[in-house]
Chain A
Amino acid sequence: MTKKMKRILLAAIAILPLHLCLAAPYQPGHDGQILERLPAAGSANRDLRQLRGQLAARPGQTELAVALAERYIARGKAEADPRDYGHAEGVLKNWLQLPEPPPNVLLLGALIKQHRHDFDGALLDLDKVLRRQPDNAQGWLTRAVILLVQARYRDALQSCAPLIDLDDTLLAGTCLAEANSLLGQAQKSYDFLREALADQPAAGSEQRQWTLAVLADIAARLGKVLDAEKHFAAAASIEQPNVYLFGAYADFLLDQRQPRKVLSLLRDKVRIDALFLRIALAKQQLGGSNLDQAVGELGARFAASRMRGENLHQGDEARFMLHLLHKPEEALRLAKANWQAQREAKDARILLEAAVAAHDPEAAKPVLELLAATGMEHPQLRQLAAQIRQMP
């Protein structure tokens, strides 16, 4: 069997919901056999269980429910485990069903919706929160982040602005710098944010991490590869890096063709589909022999999530289709659907890449328009856009 045939076979099998058709249930051999390891074993899990117990004893306690839901969301953010968000929603269910949920519940509800990519729903909830609590910094910040994902940079700037009077300046500065950097002000934003970070040595670790991640992203777009690498590494060294940071760092390393660094960065992140995709792409760069298994596994995961009628991963799935399965048309379909929900630079990039591969310059139009309207600095996007303009 030729290598190509093997690839095709693998690809065909990868898109089947294999775990259903090949599933063979069994009876484990002995009682001691470990079937499943629970996430965050030990004290963290026990704390959560204790809180759950307290809430079960006093089910009406809003503060208790909010505290528990916050814990789940924090873990969900770190581990990108959708079950955590589901559990948070379950804890808050009774309050979310009220005609006017308390603002702190509504805010968490917005975070849960954001995770589900229900961005418009989350924005509506946030507007309700902010009408009642105009000084809710978390509310303005979450709103700005969602608007950035929707490529509504000017709206995002307006959502960053109230933060200036509310919280520490680094939070507001990072928010403003990120939005401005996407509006053709990359160099200015970078210089400003570097200074702002240097001025705030006492900033909290989570804040520093976010600021460093934004600096790294801007530096990469300005072609300052060494600075970007330095910022990424600094951000990742701070405790509990989130999936977003890992994904951005891995993409940067893939662009620098440093697959080994990707593999070591994401060593224990195979559970997370988005990061497992980066692992597979790194294996592809290395030309290793175990790529096929990773491709098959990824395909099964995408199929499993499709079965529940979910399309949260269309951007990643498009990259999977294009770069690992070499199916440009499928990839373009997914990238276009993804663009309807998410419009970050990485979403723009896969749409352009798929449009180039599928020889469909028309599909790239929304991204070309965005680039023209914003003046965004992004060498890879600009290069792809030039390629598309030269297409017949």
Chain B
Amino acid sequence: MLFRLILYLLILAYTPMLHAHKASDSYLTLQAAGERIDGRWDIALRDLDYALGLDGDDNGEITWGEVRGRRAAVFDYALSHLHITGGKQACALQPGDYLIDTHTDGAYSVLMFTAACGAALSNITVDYSLLFDLDPQHRGLLRVEYGQATHTAVLGPAHPRQLIELAEARSGAAFWQYLQEGVWHIWLGYDHILFLLSLLFPAVLIRHNRIWLPAEQFRPVLFEVVKIVTAFTVAHSLTLSLATLGVIALPSRWVESAIAASVVLAALNNVYPLISKRLWLVAFGFGLIHGLGFANVLKDLGLPNNMLVLALLAFNLGVETGQLAIVSAFLPAAFLCRRNWGYRRLLVDAGSVLIVLIALVWLTERAMNTQLVDWAFLFE
């Protein structure tokens, strides 16, 4: 509480009463999204007075009335010294709000504006020439915000133009971010983990005369697992891509219910095996549905238009990485324990029953759109 109070007082303290002397700067912030840029441009009243003569009555004091009365002239002057290009197209600048703010060296007019660029932005070029003719020491402090990323540049007479690659500059960071999101989603998406485990439980066993027998050799087991995981991967990558690119669209409630149902069926298959061969086909079929689930997550994260494919690839790779981590932890352990009575009875039978029960609750919840169990509380 005290911390907050101090912080608040600090903020108040920062409305500086004692203005500093500082070289002339303007603060230009551009927020790019889609085809549009929202701009905010703080220009010192002293500089505007030097350029346009704001102090109408020449008494050395600039009042709000004097500033307000010159709104059109100020916008004209400022926006004629700023050219923004998106891709190859010049963006049309549209004046917006006209406000006041304070910086260390005094009061600034705040010009809000929008720039319509006509096409999705992959890069923007800022061409800045404000005040350079009157004060070569003037600098435009440019800040471009795009999604999570921020670019800054100092514009001066020797460097009046700045190209900002929105996609390129961010792609490395974005790739990493979406990769992590993919891994996290597998780790935190218990439905996917349980589905995968349900399919993998019997992989180290062989169904023979309606009973489970331990597999003799590791190689066929590994081959079986690789088939299952690959099928699942191919399937969910397919639907994930198609859904993300907008080719297919299904209501998320259906998708989530179907995922829960897939877990029920996969686990049930361990208890009352209907399919014991070609489990990879099951993995593929249900993988299609899980892919749609991943797509919903990706949509919630928000995808940059200009690097959709990159983000998609990174997210997918993240999902695979998470999946691989689970499989490589599970498989050796399962293979070692496969002869053990406990593995078959406790894990495969009882475990599968437990999974069925959990997945049934999910299914009901998702299909009915209600909450039966406080999962967050349960997992705390």
Contact = CB atoms under 8 A, between A and B. Distances in A.
Contacts of B23: 82-83, 86, 305, 308, 310
A42 B61 CA distance: 10
Contacts of B50: 83, 87
Given A22-B11, A25-B101, A31 B65 contact: yes
Contacts of A158: none
B110 A93 contact: no
A89 B137 contact: yes
B299 interface: no
Interface in B103-138: 103-107, 110, 133-138
A87 B63 CA distance: 23
Interface string B38-56: 0010100111011000010
A296 B13 contact: yes
Interface string B52-93: 000100111111110110000000000000000000000000
Contacts of B136: 86, 89-90, 93
A87 B135 CA distance: 5
Chain A, interface size category, equals 35 or more
A27 B6 CA distance: 26
Contact of A307 (B14, B49, B67, B141): B141
Nearest to A42: B60
B327 interface: no
B102 to A, nearest CB: 7
B2 interface: yes
A85 interface: yes
A383 interface: no
Contact of A38 (B20, B49, B104): B49
| Residue of B2, B67, B104, B107 contacting most chain A CB atoms (<10 Å) | B104
Nearest to A84: B21
A86 B154 CA distance: 17
Given A35-B45, A301-B104, A304-B104, A30 B99 contact: no
B310 interface: no
B100 interface: yes
Contacts of A83: 21-24, 46-47, 50, 135, 137
Nearest to B69: A31
Contact of A31 (B49, B64, B103): B64
Interface stretch (A173-181, A233-241, A252-260, A266-274): A266-274
Contacts of A40: 60
Interface in A1-49: 1, 6, 9-10, 13, 18-20, 22-42, 45-46
A35 B20 contact: no
A288 interface: no
A54 to B, nearest CB: 15
Interface in A49-107: 79-83, 85-87, 89-90, 93
B375 interface: no
Contact of A304 (B10, B105, B107): B105
Given A13-B10, A36-B62, A41-B59, A90 B134 contact: yes
B338 interface: no
B192 interface: no
B377 interface: no
A301 B63 contact: no
A36 B64 contact: no
A6 B10 CA distance: 11
A300 interface: yes
B223 interface: no
B139 interface: yes
A29 B106 CA distance: 18
B65 A32 contact: yes
B134 A87 contact: yes
A85 B137 contact: yes
A271 B104 CA distance: 9
A276 B20 contact: yes
Contacts of B47: 83
A287 interface: no
Nearest to A115: B137
Chain B, interface size category, equals 35 or more
A272 B104 CA distance: 11
Contacts of A138: none
B3 interface: yes
A133 interface: no
Contact of A33 (B49, B64, B106): B64
A309 interface: yes
Contact of A300 (B16, B60, B61): B16
Nearest to A112: B137
A80 B21 contact: yes
A35 B101 contact: no
Contact of A293 (B13, B104, B110): B13
B188 interface: no
A31 B97 CA distance: 17
Contacts of A273: 20-21
A297 interface: yes
Contact of A37 (B2, B60, B64, B154): B60
Contacts of B154: 307-309
A235 to B, nearest CB: 22
B104 A28 contact: no
Nearest to A298: B20
A296 B10 contact: yes
A36 B21 contact: no
Contacts of A304: 20, 22, 25, 103-105
Interface in A130-158: none
Nearest to B64: A28
A28 B100 contact: yes
A29 B134 CA distance: 32
Contact of B14 (A26, A31, A32, A296): A296
Given A42-B60, A79-B21, A85-B137, A35 B46 contact: no
Given A20-B27, A36-B45, A90-B136, A26 B16 contact: no
A341 B2 CA distance: 43
List the 4 closest pairs (A to B, CB-CB), nearest first: A41-B60, A31-B65, A86-B137, A86-B135
29 contacts: A1-B6, A9-B6, A20-B143, A24-B101, A25-B40, A27-B99, A29-B64, A31-B65, A32-B64, A34-B61, A37-B62, A38-B49, A38-B61, A42-B60, A46-B58, A82-B23, A83-B47, A83-B135, A85-B137, A86-B23, A90-B134, A90-B136, A272-B20, A273-B21, A296-B13, A297-B16, A301-B22, A304-B105, A305-B23
Given A89-B136, A305-B22, A307-B154, 13 more contacts: A18-B14, A25-B40, A28-B100, A33-B64, A35-B62, A35-B67, A79-B21, A82-B21, A82-B23, A86-B24, A87-B134, A273-B21, A308-B25
